[in-house]
């Protein structure tokens, strides 16, 4: 019996709908279930063919368990070893290399020292920074926001350097980016499932969370839709994520990628609305079943992959 596990947090409608969709697929050789995790022994990993991870970014304990699962032959969506990709500045630098238009951005050191550090730790850091050079490059208005996923939740829009410094003083030990404010004509969020299935949703990041998605069916110029889809596929493939959401602003009919990664985007029916919800559930269930039918192979680009693929014998630790 093939097993699909679902690991989730506070959300309700999406994980239950995916579970039901899989278990009602008519497959007698396959079952989906919610995962229960206790203390895990190193020689007794979770026994699943595929795991959908919706919460490990918030629970480091889960992340370690999922990494162990990958080592033991489980396909985890998304790959827990790529959690280091949660880096907005890296995404923007990658976009530049891929030829994808994105806002001008500067990464800036945290206002306060990271925990456990002091001034002596920062011997390589230029101080004070050349703020005038930074402001001349970005211009105003601008956004100061977290370098981690979900930057808009901790974003401040600033219109001059005095507002910037007032906002910067509130950021503590978080690493921030200062980014050009794009005055967009329209804005979209694209759910990318399996790196090829794209759902473009009209979205407004300036509104409260429950009002950001629009319930109406999207009507979009086919040429523009194709541009957006191609960018969404290219970004998700470059980052190596099978479940992702990216945000794209449109200005003068040109797409500008604003946010590159959300590996557990909101999929609650009350937030994204029924038509989008049904699509995300269906494509997610199809993806999980498809991976369950395949034999999972460790990617070649883990540094430890060659050792595990050759089944190198590792001596047991001394008792």
pLDDT digits (tens, 9 = 90+) for 29-64: 999 999 999 999 999 999 999 999 999 988 999 999
Q: What is the pLDDT of residue 314?
A: 42
Q: Taking 70 as the threshold, does the pLDDT of residue 7 lie above it?
A: yes
Tell me how far apart the alpha carbons of residues 36 and 65 are, in angstroms, rounded to a whole number.
12
Q: Calculate what percentage of the chain has a pLDDT beyond 90.
A: 73
Q: Pick the residue with more confidence: 112 or 319?
A: 112
What's the whole-number mean pLDDT along residues 103-114? 95
What per-residue confidence (pLDDT) applies to 302?
62
- Residue 13: which pLDDT band, with cuts at 50, 70 and 90? very high
Identify the band that residue 310 occupies on the pLDDT scale cut at 50, 70 and 90.
Answer: low
Instruction: Say if residue 318's pLDDT is above 50.
Output: no
Cα distances (Å, whole numbers) of residue 53 to 137, 244, 315: 39, 12, 32
pLDDT-derived band of residue 308, with 50, 70 and 90 as boundaries? low
Q: What is the pLDDT of residue 315?
A: 45
What is the predicted pLDDT for the residue at 96?
A: 86
Q: Quick: pLDDT tens for 234-286.
A: 988 888 889 999 999 999 999 999 988 888 899 999 999 999 999 999 999 99
Q: Give the best-scoring range by mean pLDDT among 42-46, 147-151, 311-315.
A: 42-46
Q: Could you report how far apart the first and last alpha carbons of the chain are, in Å?
A: 36
pLDDT cut 70: percent of the chain above it? 92
Cβ-contact 83, 63 below 8 angstroms: yes
What pLDDT score was predicted for residue 296? Answer: 81
Task: Please state the separation of Cα 174 from the chain's center in Å.
Answer: 18
What is the reported pLDDT for 316? 46
Indicate the pLDDT class of residue 306, thresholds 50, 70 and 90: low
Return the pLDDT at 299.
72
Average pLDDT score, the chain: 90
Q: Cα dihedral angle (293, 296, 300, 305), rounded to 10 degrees? A: 180
**pTM over 0.85, yes/no:** yes
**What is the model's pLDDT at position 304?**
58
pLDDT of amino acid 233? 92
Q: Residue 317's pLDDT band (boundaries 50, 70, 90)?
A: very low
What is the band of 181 on the pLDDT scale with cuts at 50, 70, 90? Answer: very high
Q: Which domains does the chain have, with CATH numbers?
A: 2-84+294-309 (3.40.50.20), 87-103+182-262 (3.30.470.20), 104-180 (3.30.1490)
Name the pLDDT band for 91 (thresholds 50, 70, 90).
confident
CA dist 98 and 92 (Å) reads: 10
Determine the pLDDT at residue 223.
94
């Amino acid at each position: 019996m093939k097993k699909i596990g679902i690991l989730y947090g506070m959300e309700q409608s999406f994980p239950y709908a995916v579970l039901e969709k899989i278990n009602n697929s008519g497959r007698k050789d396959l079952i989906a279930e919610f995962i229960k995790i206790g203390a895990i022994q190193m020689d007794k990993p979770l026994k699943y063919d595929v795991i959908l991870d919706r919460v490990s970014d918030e629970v480091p304990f889960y992340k370690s368990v999922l990494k162990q699962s990958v080592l033991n032959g489980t396909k985890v969506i998304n790959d827990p070893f790529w959690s280091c990709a949660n880096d907005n500045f890296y995404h923007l630098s990658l976009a530049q290399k891929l030829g994808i238009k994105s806002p001008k951005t500067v990464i800036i050191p945290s206002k306060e020292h990271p925990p456990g550090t002091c001034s002596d730790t920062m011997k390589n850091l230029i101080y004070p920074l050349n703020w005038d050079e930074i402001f001349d490059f970005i211009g105003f208005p601008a956004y100061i926001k977290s370098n981690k996923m979900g930057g808009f939740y901790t974003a401040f829009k600033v219109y001059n350097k005095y507002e910037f410094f007032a906002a910067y003083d509130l950021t503590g030990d978080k690493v921030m980016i200062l980014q050009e404010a794009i005055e967009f004509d329209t804005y979209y969020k694209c759910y990318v499932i399996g790196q090829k299935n794209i759902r473009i949703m009209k979205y407004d990041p300036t509104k409260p969370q429950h009002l950001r998605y629009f319930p109406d069916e999207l009507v979009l110029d086919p040429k523009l839709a194709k541009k957006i889809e191609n960018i969404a596929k290219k970004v998700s493939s470059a980052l190596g994520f099978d479940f992702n959401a990216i945000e794209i602003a449109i200005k003068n009919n040109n797409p500008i990628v604003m946010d590159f990664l959300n590996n557990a985007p909101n999929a609650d029916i009350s937030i994204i609305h029924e038509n989008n919800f049904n699509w995300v559930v269906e494509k997610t269930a199809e993806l999980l079943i498809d991976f369950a039918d395949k034999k999972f192979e460790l990617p070649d680009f883990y540094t430890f992959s060659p050792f595990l693929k050759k089944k190198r014998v590792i001596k047991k630790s001394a008792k």
